[in-house]
């Protein structure tokens, strides 16, 4: 059973609540004295959904996937992960509109799957963002090397200080920063797509390649091909694709701080697939057409090596002066945006875990402005790990720290889908109608089954390519395997720890014992014309709304 501190109800959801509002629980009528600020408006939620996940994973990490798997594998891998995200975010939207509770997917795991599994997913998610922050700050510092070489420690200090300043403004600071940076990233992607089409058609005077078309998909003479390294190359795309899409689920985590989640959250979740996947798939298709996948510049590309960004290389190969620097600046902005998301994701999850009795109690404290102070301090302290780069063994330490987060996105997305499946079973067992749900997943419970299936397939593909790395052997790739798959045993360890700590010998919350009321918002008093999506809307109109 989840602590009733999560419970909250606002009778008039169209009215923005303040941090000091006392919201009674639907079921028990209790009051919550400390609340996160409801400072996120609809435009913030939409930009978090649309632009929040566009970062170094797309702009830089896609380079290694292009080199190892080829443009066709790259495209197919991102499409598969995009479908997975469609199913996941739709499931999350249904749960988050009905239960806009602090902690979101961690709470759903506790309530609908198993408390120990929710504990494991919550802490793995929080730790993942904690460790990702210093890496992103480092990557932002390294982007400066594109123009001039400075001591990276200087830029680490500058970027970390900037993030600390943003935290003083609470959730509104996070929302506004993501809104502005998101617009810049979207404009950059759209600009690249137009630029890439011109290059591919031979419209750049300084590019002596002329018309390119699909030349690099079948240019075996120069080592370019649509699929590289066979099935291993295809499997190698999934981790990079998951890293690139990582953060999309933050729109569900932000529901607890949304001014009007019933209106803004469904609209934001519907845009995730049509717009994010559109940006990713179209931009990667164009990039794969104009960048030779056999280019040595793509070798060993990583999230911190912006000089290997295929997007920057595409502009350089076209011979356009000045524009590579502009796009490198966009990459710097994107990395800082992800760093901003790191801070939000980890602090809200830690606060929720502590509030639910699954973490140190002091982490649950929220100040008068609705900010989880101690989690923010801990996150900023973890940011100091970026200075490890000053040491000779810094890169080795960093690789192992990042290994802790390698598969965390897959586990979180799979948990969301499973939570939705289990919730639907509990809702049906309680004799409740789907018509009582304020928002329903457009792909239904079958979409969650598909999402969970794709997560399992992605984990299997990752296991295979980590065990049998491209160009290596199982024995020689032992270190690579543990770096890539260590997140799995960590999740199992956290699960077992909580089982032993609570002496809980059971497994899975029984369907008829599920808590379906704590934290549920009552929307019965809201006029029908304020419904974000009428239940009798046709499929065609649903798609139209999602697109436009």
- The helix/strand/coil state of 40 is strand
Q: Using CA atoms, how far apart are residues 374 and 204, in angstroms rounded to an integer? A: 53
Burial 63-77 (b: 16+ CB within 10 A, else e): bbbbbbbbbbbbbbb
- The helix/strand/coil state of 195 is helix
- Burial-class residue 476 by CB neighbours within 10 Å (0-12, 13-18, 19+): exposed
Alpha helices in 206-260 (DSSP H): 230-235, 237-245, 250-253
Cβ pair 477, 397 in contact under 8 A: no
| Residue found by looking up tokens 């457009």 in the block | 442
Q: Which residues pair with 258 in a beta bridge?
A: 40
* Closest of 520, 192, 472 to residue 328, by C-alpha: 192
**CA angle centred on 254, ends 42 and 385, rounded to 5°:** 130
| This prediction's pTM | 0.81
Q: Using CA atoms, how far apart are residues 485 and 408, in angstroms rounded to an integer? A: 10
Helix then strand count (H, E) for the chain reads 21, 0
* Closest of 263, 293, 386 to residue 62, by C-alpha: 293
Q: Using CA atoms, how far apart are residues 369 and 173, in angstroms rounded to an integer? A: 12
Question: Would you list the DSSP string of 5-32?
Answer: GG----S-TTSPP-TT-----TTT----
Q: Token digits for 328?
A: 């490198």
Ranges of each domain in the chain: 39-514+531-547
Encode 249-278 in three state secondary structure. Answer: CHHHHHHHHECCHHHHHHHHHHHHHHHHHH
Q: Using CA atoms, how far apart are residues 267 and 546, in angstroms rounded to an integer? A: 7
Q: Using CA atoms, how far apart are residues 455 and 435, in angstroms rounded to an integer? A: 29
* Closest of 466, 458, 484 to residue 232, by C-alpha: 466
In the chain, % helix, strand, coil (3-state, to 5) comes to 65, 0, 30
Kindly list the distances between the CA atom of residue 231 and the CA atoms of 138, 300, 463, in Å, as whole numbers in the listed order. Answer: 33, 20, 13
Question: Would you list the DSSP string of 73-129?
Answer: HHHHHHHHHHHHHHHHHHHHHHHHHH---TTTHHHHHHHHT-HHHHHHHHHHHHHHH
Helix (H) or strand (E) holding 374: helix 373-383
Encode 436-487 in three state secondary structure. Answer: HCCCCCCCHHHHHHHHHHHHHHHHHHHHHHHHCCCCCCCCCCHHHHHHHHCH
- The pLDDT of residue 39: 52
Pick one of 3.30.70.1530, 1.20.1740.10, 1.10.10.10, 3.30.70.20 as the CATH number of 39-514+531-547: 1.20.1740.10
Query: What is the mean pLDDT for each group of 10 consecutive residues in the chain (548 residues)?
Result: 39 37 37 52 60 73 87 93 89 87 81 93 87 78 70 80 78 75 86 93 87 87 84 87 79 64 70 72 93 80 56 89 85 80 82 88 82 86 80 60 71 93 93 88 92 93 82 59 75 92 88 86 50 43 39
Q: Using CA atoms, how far apart are residues 427 and 434, in angstroms rounded to an integer? A: 8
- The pLDDT of residue 282: 92
Question: Would you list the DSSP string of 295-354?
Answer: -GGGTT--TT-GGG-HHHHHHHHTT-SSHHHHHHHHHHHHHHHHHHHHHHHHHHHHHHHH
Q: Using CA atoms, how far apart are residues 125 and 142, in angstroms rounded to an integer? A: 26
**CA-based torsion, 308, 311, 312, 318: positive or negative:** positive
Q: Using CA atoms, how far apart are residues 147 and 325, in angstroms rounded to an integer? A: 8
């Amino acid at each position: 059973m989840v602590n009733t501190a999560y419970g909250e109800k606002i009778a008039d959801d169209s009215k923005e609540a303040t941090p000091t509002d006392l919201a009674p629980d639907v079921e028990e009528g209790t009051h919550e004295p400390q609340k996160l600020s409801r400072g996120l408006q609809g435009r913030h939620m939409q930009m978090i959904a649309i632009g929040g996940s566009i970062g170094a994973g797309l702009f830089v990490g896609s380079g290694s996937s292009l080199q190892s798997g080829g443009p066709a594998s790259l495209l197919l891998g991102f499409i598969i992960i995009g479908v997975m995200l469609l199913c996941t975010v739709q499931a999350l939207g249904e749960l988050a509109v009905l239960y806009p509770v602090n902690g979101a997917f961690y709470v759903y795991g506790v309530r609908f799957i198993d408390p120990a599994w929710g504990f494991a997913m919550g802490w793995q998610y929080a730790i993942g963002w904690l460790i990702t922050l210093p890496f992103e700050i480092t990557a932002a510092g390294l982007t400066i090397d594109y123009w001039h070489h400075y001591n990276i420690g200087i830029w680490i200090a500058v970027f970390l200080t900037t993030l600390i300043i943003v935290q003083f403004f609470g959730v509104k600071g996070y929302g506004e920063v993501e809104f502005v940076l998101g617009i810049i990233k979207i404009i950059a992607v759209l600009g690249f797509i137009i630029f890439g089409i011109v290059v591919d058609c031979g419209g750049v005077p300084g590019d002596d390649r002329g018309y390119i078309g699909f030349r690099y998909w079948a240019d075996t003479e120069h080592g370019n091909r649509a699929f590289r390294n066979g099935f291993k190359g295809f499997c190698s795309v999934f981790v990079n694709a998951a890293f690139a899409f990582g953060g999309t689920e933050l729109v569900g985590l932000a529901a607890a701080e949304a001014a009007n989640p019933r209106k803004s959250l469904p609209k934001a979740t519907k845009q995730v697939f049509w717009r994010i996947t559109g940006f990713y798939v179209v931009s990667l298709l164009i990039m794969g057409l104009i960048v030779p996948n056999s280019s040595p510049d793509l070798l060993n590309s990583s999230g911190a090596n912006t000089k290997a960004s295929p997007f920057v290389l595409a502009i350089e190969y076209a011979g356009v002066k000045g524009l590579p620097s502009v796009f490198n600046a966009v990459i710097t902005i994107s990395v800082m945006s992800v760093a901003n998301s790191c801070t939000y994701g980890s602090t809200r999850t830690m606060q929720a875990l502590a509030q639910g009795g699954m973490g140190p109690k002091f982490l649950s404290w929220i100040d008068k402005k609705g900010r989880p102070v101690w989690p923010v301090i801990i996150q900023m302290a973890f940011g100091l790990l970026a200075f490890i780069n000053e040491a000779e063994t810094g890169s080795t330490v960093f690789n192992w720290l990042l290994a802790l987060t390698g598969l965390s996105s897959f586990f979180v997305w799979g948990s969301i889908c499973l939570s939705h499946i289990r919730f639907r079973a509990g809702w049906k067992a309680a004799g409740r109608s789907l018509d009582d749900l304020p928002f329903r997943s457009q792909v239904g419970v079958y979409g969650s089954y598909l999402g969970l299936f794709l997560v399992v397939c992605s984990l299997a593909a990752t296991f295979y390519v980590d065990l049998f790395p491209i160009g290596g052997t199982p024995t020689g790739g032992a270190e690579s395997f543990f770096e890539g798959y260590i997140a799995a045993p960590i999740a199992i360890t956290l699960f077992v720890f909580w089982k032993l700590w609570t002496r809980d010998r059971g497994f899975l919350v029984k369907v008829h014992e599920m808590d379906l009321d704590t934290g549920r918002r009552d929307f019965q008093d809201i006029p029908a014309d304020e419904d974000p999506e009428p239940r009798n809307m046709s499929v065609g109109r649903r798609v139209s709304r999602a697109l436009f």
